[in-house]
Amino acid sequence: MTYKIDNLSIKELQKFIIDLNEKPFRAKQLYKWIYQKGITSFEEMTDLPLNFRDKLSDIFEFTKITPIEQLLSKLDGSIKVLFELEDKNYIESVLMFDGERVTACVSTQVGCRMGCKFCNTAKIGLIRNLTSGEIIRQIIYLKDLARQNNKLLSNIVFMGMGEPLDNYENLTNSLDIILDEDGLNFSHRKVTVSTCGIIDKLYTLSKNYKVNIAISLNASSNKIRSKLMPINKKFNIEEIIKSIKNLPIPKRKRITIEYVLIDGINNTKRDANLLVKLLKGLPVKVNLIVYNKIKDSQFNPPDLNYALNFQKTLINNGVATFIRKSFGQDIEAACGQLYAKYYKERGLWKRSNLTQEIKQ
């Protein structure tokens, strides 16, 4: 039986090493070869004894994800990648350039079961969770892609396909590797986990990791949020606000509230004022995201003036608010768009459009 070496934590790897009658420090050497140097062949790990490399080859193999389509945005230089997994499933990742800030947006699941009505990934449904190795391989690939563009990957956001906290074990296994100085060696300040609001897992994550947290709110009333996001029926707005007050947030850190502005749904002056009442005085900042139009969707982005006025209302009432720059609008960079395009072009897209009409 072989194991995927890049699915293992440092402690798990050390146990394997000890069972092979090797010294525990070999685990750190392996970690550096795999994650810092990006090596996927034991033969190339030249500072390891040959007999040890032979043992490793007999027991371990590396996770493989294969890029099968790569789109470059002419608008902002962002790059979207469609990966084929070993079981012939597919996921998407995006590399975004914003000055010296270079961000990898990675997926945690094939599809998603949260059912958010404005999200293309919701139409796929949940096919399966990604392993920690599959999560990490996306980052390593995008890190190399950034280097090819003479840039260094600086930030990681878990905002791709899937709900990260719905794949909690593999998410945290990957975080251990990302934050380990012998692994990918990223600061917790440069890593953001976005969630639609799975509060119990959010508490657990916050107690054990200092990474940045982003919560998708997208409405200022439970009536609208429940229609946009079915998760609200389990974890409603009041629960989210309560969690923000009680989470162990380090000083000078703020939780990001993500709010997708959809024309005629959640972008009115009234919505902005209700949002002020919810958030004022909390350690948060708001990222307004103008809806990225999806083909065949009935939803539409609002005029930019609506976004600016919405932002102005929040800022004038003491809520730090930013309009998030949209990347890759010419390369179908919204989650699930490239996946859907690939399947439709090959006649494989059989899942129904789950979007339903929403009225206030």
Q: Which domain holds residue 250?
A: 66-345
Q: What is the dihedral of CA 272, 278, 282, 288, to 10 degrees?
A: -30
Same domain as 35, residue 85? no
- 22, 92, 134, 258: the catalytic one is 92
Q: What is the DSSP code string of 299-347?
A: --PPPHHHHHHHHHHHHHTT--EEEPPP--TTTT-STTHHHHHHHHHTT
Does residue 277 lie in a domain region? Answer: yes
Angle at 145 between CA 161 and CA 141, to 5 degrees: 50
Number of structural domains (the chain) is 2
Q: Are residues 115 and 236 in the same domain?
A: yes
Six-digit token string for 249: 């947030």
Q: For position 56, which CATH number holds?
A: 1.10.150.530
| Between 347 and 246, residue with greater pLDDT | 246
Q: What is the pLDDT of residues 243-285, one digit of tens each?
A: 999 999 887 889 999 999 999 999 999 999 999 999 999 999 9
Catalytic residue check, 196: no
Distance CA 317, CA 137 (A): 43
Q: Which of 112, 119, 196, 335 does the annotation list as catalytic?
A: 335
* Same domain, residue pair 73 and 50: no
Query: Percent of the chain scored above 90 by pLDDT?
Result: 79
> Is 33 domain-assigned?
yes
84 is catalytic: no
DSSP label at residue 34: I
Tell me, yes or no, whether 360 lies in a domain: no
Residue 298: the pLDDT is 83
pLDDT (mean) for 12-34 = 92
Q: In this structure, are 177 and 231 located in the same domain?
A: yes
Chosen domain end from 20, 38, 61: 61
Amino acid letter at 69? E
- Interval 161-183: pLDDT, tens: 999 999 999 999 999 999 999 89
What single letter denotes the amino acid at residue 56?
Answer: L
In a domain, 186, yes or no: yes
Residue 72, burial from CB neighbour count under 10 angstroms (0-12, 13-18, 19+): middle
CA distance linking residue 136 with residue 99, whole number of Å: 24
Global model pTM greater than 0.85: yes
**CA dihedral of 65, 19, 46, 51, whole degrees rounded to 10:** -110
Asked if residue 354 belongs to a domain, the reply is: no
Q: Do 192 and 218 share a structural domain? A: yes
Same-domain pairing of 35 and 124: no
Structural domain includes residue 146: yes
Q: What is the mean pLDDT of residues 129-142?
A: 98
Based on the fold, state whether residues 25 and 140 are members of the same structural domain.
Answer: no
The answer to whether residues 54 and 203 belong to one domain is no
**Same-domain check for residues 46 and 138:** no
Q: What is the pLDDT of residues 198-220, one digit of tens each?
A: 999 999 999 999 999 999 999 99
pLDDT at 59 over 80: yes
Using CA atoms, how far residue 110 sits from 50, 113, 165, 176, 244, in Å, is 38, 10, 14, 21, 29
171 and 279 share one domain: yes
The pLDDT value recorded for residue 251 is: 79
CATH number of the domain to which 215 belongs? 3.20.20.70
pLDDT at 348 over 80: no
Same domain, 93 and 197: yes
Q: Are 53 and 30 in contact (CB under 8 A)?
A: no
Q: What is the pLDDT of residue 346?
A: 59
Contact 106, 161 (CB under 8 A): no
Q: What's the chain's average pLDDT?
A: 90
What does the pLDDT read at residue 332? 58
For residue 74, what pLDDT band results from cuts at 50, 70 and 90?
confident
Mean pLDDT of all residues in 318-334 = 74
Is residue 351, in this structure, part of any structural domain at all? no
Confidence of residue 359 (pLDDT cuts 50, 70, 90): very low
Same domain, 153 and 57: no
